[in-house]
Chains A and B, each alone.
Chain A
Amino acid sequence: MDRLMNFLVSPVLKWALLVLAVAFPLISSNEYHIYVMATAFIWAIAVYGMNIITGYCGQLNLAHGGFFAIGAYVVAILTVDHEWAFWPAFIAAGLAGAIFGFLVGVVSLRLKEHYFAIFTLCVGFIIYLLLEKWEALTHGSLGIINIAPPEGFGFVDFTETVPFYYLVLAFLVLSVWLVSRLSRSLLGRTFLAIRISDDLAQSLGINLMRNKVLAFVLSTVYAASAGALYAGVVRFIGPAEADVVHTFDMITYLLVGGIGTLMGPLLGTLAITWLTQMLQSLEEYRMIIFGPMLVILVIFFPRGIVGGFLTWRGRRLANKASQQDRGGESQASVQTPSTPSADKQEAGNNA
């Protein structure tokens, strides 16, 4: 049991997952499955962004899907109407995510809690309206077709599913790696302090606005980059990308996987995506299954699958260390058992 537990939080698991992800196109010969996986990875990148602002920093941003759409539209408009190549447009999409994120963040983050959530819900809807109504720029409700795919510079052809899968996987790994650095760092702890309470964070000398805006901009860059990749694979987008439904989908992924955890966004996105695939024959009725599942999950695992596991494991380790403390006689033996468990704890936070 302990061995399994340690495996689940060790870096070995992450490498194993990576190997599995790399091998997936070789194992699965079904191109459709590979395509589904690639788009799930794209959404996962966006969900990682949402996890930064909502999971770590505690600000429920309901405009996240809007920023995803902004990224997609920047690529679409630049490649179709201005004949840019994909990669410069991709970088421009990331920059647009940062700039719009900063502008929206500076205004919206003056609000707290529900007010912030409602305000960003409106921002998301305004983005949707702009994309739909501003026909001169966005082609209106027709959407934009023939978006340029990522250039492979003669080595690979990213219009093929398998190479694109690997491209997205590379971006996903980069995203997860950056979040893992962030979440363990002092900056991640700063965000977490804000999540506990604004007042507490300020009393600890944390500049609220600066850190919240930073977390917000990071999240919108993630969202816009994911949107840009999405435009590159789907190659046709419309205003529906900014629909608030996508934002709530991402919240679901986050809740199922584990909000504020490192592997939660990936687990949640993949689990729900594949479940949706499996239940596709039920069409809209699949919500009959999703609904109760989500309710059960929120009641019994409020921190999602990964969060629930980590809490359970942390308790177990703490109890074990306490028992050993009680058993220990000298001061030295009191200290020793708690030290390795503290190290393990840290490893646990990586999960």
Chain B
Amino acid sequence: MLKISNLTKRFGGLAAVNNVSVEFPANQVNAIIGPNGAGKSTFFNLVAGAMPPSEGKIEYQGMDITGMAPDRIARLGVARTFQTTMLFDQSTVLDNLIVGHRLRTQSRLWDVIINSKRLRDEEKKCRSRAAEVLDFVGLSHIGHRYIADISQEERKRVAFALAMATDPELVLLDEPAGGINPEETENLADLIRKMVKHGITVCLIEHKMDMIMSLADKIMVLDHGEKIAEGTPEQIKNDPVVIEAYLGSEQDVEA
């Protein structure tokens, strides 16, 4: 699904991501972990096209997407969520989701002026897609609520739904469980499993080890921009290098 070769990103003298090669297979949960400042978010930004890499190659479904604009990558079927959930506060949940399907529509200014049939059809399509994804994340009952009035976990779910509305095949989740309680984390993990069951490949960054270990099929560990390990949760748990770099030094943070 996603094949990364020798990916490097330098900011001045600092290599935030350094010579990382990894392959993420389709239809499973792939996790990226590592201490703060390990380059996880930069890695995501590179894959999503938000910034061009200094070196290396990114292949998505056999296609070279290195340095491609983020909106084009999104149209190829790569969706993402952000660490801080960005939604339009002064609008309802459902209204927020309608634009998610915009990239699968063609209407232009002229369609708006003459209110063409194409525009009306596409708006209907976007609306029904929004209702579908809202149902998928289990929030149909709050579609009419204002974003400003819903809980943090619900906001996370809406962000998931927005990503789903783009009809993605690969979803990048940046700290989906940040700032929510353990019970909500478990519910969110269920939702991620449900996404995989529906044929979506998930790639996520997360700090909550319990969640990762029970959820991920494959884990890559980054430290100081370099890949120090990859494998199943079992392998990662017992890898002395990982324990040294991550679990050892970060125990206080995790606790």
Q: Enumerate 19 A-B pairs (CB-CB under 8 Å) in ascending A order.
A: A181-B113, A181-B115, A185-B111, A189-B98, A192-B99, A193-B99, A200-B82, A203-B80, A204-B79, A208-B71, A214-B109, A307-B90, A314-B92, A315-B146, A318-B92, A322-B145, A334-B141, A342-B143, A345-B95
- A-contact 0/1 string along B143-177, CB 8 Å cutoff: 11110010000000000001100100000000000
Chain B, range 216-244, C-beta contacts under 8 Å to A: none
Chain B, range 50-103, C-beta contacts under 8 Å to A: 50, 69-72, 74-75, 79-80, 82, 86-88, 90-92, 94-95, 98-100, 102-103
Nearest B-chain residue to A185, judged by Cβ = B112
- Contact, CB under 8 Å: B119 / A206: no
Shortest B160–chain A CB gap in Å is: 13
- Contact, CB under 8 Å: B107 / A204: no
Number of residues on chain A facing chain B (CB within 8 A): 43
Interface: B17 (CB within 8 A): no
Chain A, range 190-221, C-beta contacts under 8 Å to B: 190, 192-193, 195-197, 199-208, 214, 218
Interface: B105 (CB within 8 A): yes
Interface: A17 (CB within 8 A): no
In the complex, which residues of chain A have a beta carbon less than 8 angstroms from the beta carbon of B149? Answer: 315, 318
Partner of A190, one of B75, B92, B99, B113: B99
Nearest B-chain residue to A344, judged by Cβ = B144
Shortest B111–chain A CB gap in Å is: 8
Where the two chains meet, the residues of A that have a C-beta atom closer than 8 Å to any C-beta of B are 178, 181-182, 185-190, 192-193, 195-197, 199-208, 214, 218, 303, 307, 310-311, 314-315, 317-318, 321-322, 325, 334, 338, 341-342, 345, 349
Shortest B224–chain A CB gap in Å is: 25
Where the two chains meet, the residues of B that have a C-beta atom closer than 8 Å to any C-beta of A are 48-50, 69-72, 74-75, 79-80, 82, 86-88, 90-92, 94-95, 98-100, 102-103, 105, 107-109, 111-113, 115, 119, 122-123, 126, 141, 143-146, 149, 162-163, 166
Shortest A229–chain B CB gap in Å is: 20
Taken together as a complex, chains A and B put the C-alpha atoms of A105 and B255 apart, in Å, by 50
Nearest A-chain residue to B165, judged by Cβ = A204
- Contact, CB under 8 Å: B90 / A303: yes
- Contact, CB under 8 Å: B50 / A321: no
- Contact, CB under 8 Å: A186 / B119: yes
In the complex, which residues of chain A have a beta carbon less than 8 angstroms from the beta carbon of B90? Answer: 303, 307, 310-311
In the complex, which residues of chain B have a beta carbon less than 8 angstroms from the beta carbon of A334? Answer: 141
- Contact, CB under 8 Å: B48 / A203: yes
Given contacts A181-B115, A185-B123, A186-B122, contact A203 B70 (CB under 8 A): yes
Nearest B-chain residue to A321, judged by Cβ = B144
Nearest B-chain residue to A339, judged by Cβ = B144
- Contact, CB under 8 Å: B108 / A187: yes
- Contact, CB under 8 Å: B98 / A318: no
In the complex, which residues of chain A have a beta carbon less than 8 angstroms from the beta carbon of B88? Answer: 192-193, 195-196
State the 8 A-B residue pairs at the shortest beta-carbon distance, nearest first.
Answer: A205-B103, A205-B74, A189-B99, A202-B70, A185-B112, A197-B86, A200-B86, A205-B75
Nearest B-chain residue to A208, judged by Cβ = B71
In the complex, which residues of chain B have a beta carbon less than 8 angstroms from the beta carbon of A192? Answer: 88, 91, 99
In the complex, which residues of chain B have a beta carbon less than 8 angstroms from the beta carbon of A201? Answer: 71
Nearest A-chain residue to B99, judged by Cβ = A189
Shortest B114–chain A CB gap in Å is: 9
Assuming A202-B70, A345-B144, what are 12 further A-B pairs, CB within 8 angstroms? Answer: A186-B98, A187-B112, A192-B99, A205-B74, A205-B102, A205-B166, A208-B71, A311-B90, A311-B146, A342-B92, A342-B144, A345-B92
- Contact, CB under 8 Å: A207 / B71: yes
Taken together as a complex, chains A and B put the C-alpha atoms of A181 and B110 apart, in Å, by 11
Taken together as a complex, chains A and B put the C-alpha atoms of A297 and B141 apart, in Å, by 34
